[in-house]
Amino acid sequence: MWEGDELLGMYWQAIIPLWVVLFPIFMTPAIFILSKRSEKLRDGLSVLTAVITFFSVASLYPFVMEGKTIEYTLFQILPELGVTVRIDILSFCLAILSSFVWMMATIYSLDYMKPEHGKNRYYPVLIFTLGATLGIFFAGDFFTLYVFFELMSLVSYVLVIHEETPTALKAGYKYLIMTIIGGLALFFAIIATFELAGSVSLSKGVLVSKPSTLAFFAFVCYLIGFGMKAGMFPLHVWLPEAHPVAPSPASALLSGIMLKTGAYGMLRVLFYVFNIEVVQSARWDLLVAVLAVITILLGSAVALTQFDLKRRLAYSSIGQMGYVLLGMILFTEQGLVGDIFHIFSHAFMKSTLFLAAGAIIWKTGLRNINDLAGIGRKMPFTMGAFTIAALAMIGIPPLNGFLSKWTLSLGALEAGLPIYVVILLISSLLNGLYYLPIIIAAFFGGEEQEHAHGEAQHVEAGINLRGEATAKMVIPMVILGLGCFFLGLFPSNIAYELSLKAAVFLFRGGM
Amino acid sequence: MNLNYEHLPVIIVALLLLAAFLEPIVYRHKKSWAAPLVIASMAFFALSSLYLMAAVNYHGPFNYYLGGWAPPFGIELEIDYLAVFLLLTFSVIGLIAIVYGLQDLKHGLKDEVLGWYFTLYLLLMASMAGISVTNDLFNMYVFVEISAISACAIISIKESRECIEASLKYLILSTLGSGCILLATAMLYMITGHLNIGYLNDVLPRVMSHYPNNILISLGFFVVGYGVKAALFPLHVWLPDAHTAAPSPSSAVLSGLVIKVYAAAFLKVFLKAYPREIFLEIPVMEIVLFLSVLAILYGSIVAMVQEDIKKMLAYSSIAQIGYVFLGFSLMGQRAVAGGLLHIFNHAMMKSMLFLAAGIIIYSTGIRRIRDMKGLGVKLPLTMGAFTIGALSMVGIPGTNGFISKWQLALGALDLGRPIIVVVILLSSLLNCLYYMPIVINAFFGVKGEPELEIGKVPGVMLYSILFLGFGIIFFGIYPAPLLAFLQKTVTAIL
């Protein structure tokens, strides 16, 4: 690790985190101002910003693959507390994933949002949230992380309530209150850590190495703060309300990426604030494990009872985040690989599913699962992508969901906890129960039904692929769906390599 | 050492008093000069405070003997870090409020009382400056009286029924408070023969064991006296009516500054005059801590059910003054610095919120929160500033409210009291519950609402709240110099 100014001279990569955080944030007012002039310019600039951000993040790839880490302080806000930048393999994993999915969702938005109102608000907020989210991943201490975490959570409120219907406003209010509660819990946790350790930096090794009452409360508050964001039981209540009411590309990002910030935060807490010995010796991991198991089973079970397509997907997200929470508490290297890989997998799967659901809603106006019979024949690409992602959710080989479940199970066995494998299998079964009927009905059911309404509505919006949504919507969806396929086809793909490296890195002490 | 500036504190107070009494004459004979005069006096106040701040920061604190009479016989002014910090806070916020007020008052006040309003405003400022710099308990009492009477007159200046009622309530309670302060001062004079804070601090440890009753009574009277004036729970009952009834710029000053000056006076008396050992034997600070916790919770809960926006802001002030007392009564380095920081931060936030509410009332006539749907579209800058203030009240990072809460919470943890942190967080949540619905209603879900009638907003009013909004963000991102200064302040006090 290098300190201070000389590193800026040595490694131009040190600038990139700053660039990818500040560039979208500074583009926000530009997009907002341009939106008054021309819609085309606004759309183009939004996509351009997302694309440039993605490639900037990607350019860090060779650097982090060499196993290098950079950390430096930009300026101090309070004594011992500053804005710190950090690049390591874990932050790279999450950042590259986020910026990629964000790019896809932004392209998808172009046509999806056309009939919507308030686009001049939507695009700036979308791009701003990208910057804030990347800020979370490139933060070098918990204080900076907290600042960006709050920024992202608050700004994405505007995405949640975009429709401004009474339902959306109600869901948004719930979201806002839960966000503030989570934020305050994090505030307590961070301040308690600061009191115990005198620092909240990620570069100091283990900050709290002795369990104490205050340390326990700090741990619980971290769990509340990050678990709330990750949709952990019993703090998930906002999620099934907020994710379905948002516009579909925003739902894809909320479910696919922003949930992961909670998981990312928990990973940092488990390996940087405390460490395996502290958490295991004080048996705090039991708390997380129990909550994670309940989250998995509850999310999957309740998803069965939902008949609104997007609500079912939202509950499914809760279940899947349970996997991620469970994986990190196994404390085995294999388990951690599976954990980080599942973050990748779920981001791809869930954003594909939400984008596909969005395309169906956009095209036909149908949200109820019972009405979707025969839709696969009308929209083969959309339902094809949906099917790949749904099968991956269930864990069918050779899709990425299978690979993550396989690795997680190996990790659970390595930790000597075969019970978790059983839970994974039960949950897979439940996933099958609620995803397969949709697919079967879409392709093989409803011959007699005709979906007349809403057909001719958006024809002028672009190329019409046999009743499909426009190309700008189908292509991102298909790319993400193919991602689910290719990231599971070989057990040595780029996402898996990154996960492996990140897991080893964390186990070595994460320095 | 170059001490040209040493007369400045006296000049400030004297000049403000002089300008105050000139105002009615000027207003009668040369109406157009009245407003420039008050602005010029306030600008002088602000600039000289800035100069004093720089001078004290550079050369260190100094004492000034009024008329050359050395204490214990003469009146001593102590211009330490605390004094210049308070002077600067009061003068800058006071200047902004009156610049804003020139427009708003023409709208809200009868023409013939405007000159008197300026008089009262300058008197209030002079007394606050006096309280900040004086090192003499009786002198402080005199300034406390001046400020109480001028505040009372400012509240009643609209001469409507509720204004008179509110100001009468304030007058009675505040006189009670003044009486307590005078009695407590007398008790201390009785046993020590001194009124000077420094001398009291020297003599009290020697005599306190002989006169335990005097000490006890004086402590009680000081708590009640300054508690009433600073609206510390449960002595707050006058505040909501008074701050709601006053014209908006006065509400901003009353809520943002006037209650703070008594909190600062409380700090001066308790931590500078009394020796610290007293608080080990008499748990008066524990009582104040308990009251401030109750104030924080009570103010926030009651604010939630208010319908009038100014009343809501007034109840929120009760909670926020609780933070200041909380910091002081913990008596730790960080905690006291947090309390002082909150004086500054809350002065900015609350005056900004009151001024924003003033703009809303000025241009639409709406006071009820429920009717404010869709205001964000009509008054985007005003509601944007209001949003910044609201976020700062909740304590979102990036705003100065976060920095105060951080400092106070850390101060509480330093002293091993995590439960205080929980109170602070709980109150933040409550703040969110009553501030955020206003913001949400203003900006979102406005389709199909009836159009609001919006009058024109004068630029000066808008710029003043935008300036304060900028300050909130600035001190949320770059509080380091301020904190370093407060660190020095606190080290000097404790």
Condensed to tens digits (0 to 9), the pLDDT of residues B359-414 reads 988 888 888 888 888 888 888 889 999 999 999 999 888 899 999 999 999 999 88
Q: What angle do CA B38, B44, B49 make, to 5 degrees?
A: 130
Contact B438/B379 with Cβ under 8 angstroms?
no
**For residue A370, is it within any domain?**
yes
Q: Which of A274, A284, A270, A388 is nearest to A340 (CA)?
A: A270
What beta strand segments (E) does B293-377 contain?
Answer: none
The total of other beta-carbon atoms located within 10 Å of residue B354's CB is: 29
Percent of the residues in chain B that have a pLDDT greater than 90, as a whole number: 44
pLDDT(B180) > 90: yes
Distance from CA of A191 to the nearest CA of B (A): 7
| Strand, coil or helix: B63 | strand
**For residue A243, is it within any domain?**
no
The pLDDT, as a whole number, for residue A120 is 84
The pLDDT, as a whole number, for residue A507 is 84
Overall pTM surpassing 0.80 (yes/no): yes
pLDDT tens digits, A86-115: 888 999 999 999 999 999 999 999 888 888
**Amino acid code (one letter) for A485:** F
CA–CA separation, B85 vs B341, rounded Å? Answer: 10
| Residue in A78, A169, A180 closest to B432 by CB | A180
Contact B88/B50 with Cβ under 8 angstroms?
yes
Contacts across the A-B interface (CB distance below 8 Å)? 82
Evaluate the CA torsion angle A359, A364, A365, A370 in order and state its sign: negative
Distance from CA of B391 to the nearest CA of A (A): 10
The pLDDT, as a whole number, for residue B447 is 66
Backbone angles phi, psi at A508, to 5 degrees: -70, -5
Token pair for A171:
């869901």
Query: What ipTM, to 2 d.p.?
Result: 0.85
Q: Which of A421, A429, A407 is nearest to A339 (CA)?
A: A407
HSE of A92, CA atoms in CB hemisphere, 13 A: 32
| Residue in A151, A169, A184 closest to B428 by CB | A184
CA–CA separation, A424 vs A286, rounded Å? Answer: 17
Residues of A whose CB is below 8 A from B401: none
Q: Which domain holds residue A464?
A: 284-501
**For residue A471, is it within any domain?**
yes
Q: What angle do CA B366, B156, B461 make, to 5 degrees?
A: 45
Residues of B whose CB is below 8 A from A161: 440, 444-445
Residues of B whose CB is below 8 A from A200: none
Contact A220/A186 with Cβ under 8 angstroms?
no
Residues of B whose CB is below 8 A from A217: 418
pLDDT(B454) > 80: no
Which of B 427-446 lie inside 8 A of A, CB atoms?
Answer: 428-429, 432-433, 436-437, 440, 444-446
- Cβ contacts of A383 within 8 Å, gap of 6 or more: A356, A375, A376, A439, A442, A443
**For residue A275, is it within any domain?**
no
Token pair for B166:
């509110």
Contact A160/A172 with Cβ under 8 angstroms?
yes
The mean pLDDT of A77-85, rounded to a whole number, is 81
CA–CA separation, A368 vs A366, rounded Å? Answer: 6
**For residue A81, is it within any domain?**
no
The mean pLDDT of B315-330, rounded to a whole number, is 93
CB contact under 8 A, B409 and A191: yes
Q: Concatenate the DSSP letters of all residues of B183-207 into one string.
A: HHHHHHHHHHS--BHHHHHHHHHHH
pLDDT(B271) > 80: yes
Q: Tell me whether B10 touches chain A (CB under 8 Å).
A: no
pLDDT tens digits, A310-366: 999 999 999 999 999 999 888 888 999 999 999 999 999 999 999 999 998 888 888
Find the closest chain A residue to B425 by CA distance.
A184
pLDDT tens digits, A275-289: 788 888 888 888 999
Q: How many distinct structural domains can be found in chain A?
A: 1
Residues of A whose CB is below 8 A from B428: 180, 184
Token pair for A138:
């490139």
Distance from CA of B282 to the nearest CA of A (A): 29
Would you tell me the crossing angle of helices B380-394 and B400-414 to the nearest 10 degrees? Answer: 10
CA–CA separation, A223 vs A228, rounded Å? Answer: 8
**Amino acid code (one letter) for B325:** F
B78 DSSP β-pair partners: B63
CA–CA separation, B381 vs B470, rounded Å? Answer: 12
CA A93 from centroid of its chain's CA atoms: 12
- Residue for token pair 């919770």: B297
| Strand, coil or helix: A78 | strand
Would you kindly state where each structural domain of chain B is located, as residue ranges?
1-274, 283-494
pLDDT(A416) > 50: yes
CB contact under 8 A, A177 and B425: no
pLDDT(A226) > 90: yes
CB contact under 8 A, A183 and B440: no
| Strand, coil or helix: B171 | helix
| Residue in A79, A169, A217 closest to B445 by CB | A169
Q: Which of A67, A169, A163, A93 is nearest to A121 (CA)?
A: A163
Contact A164/A157 with Cβ under 8 angstroms?
no
- Cβ contacts of B203 within 8 Å, gap of 6 or more: B192, B193, B194
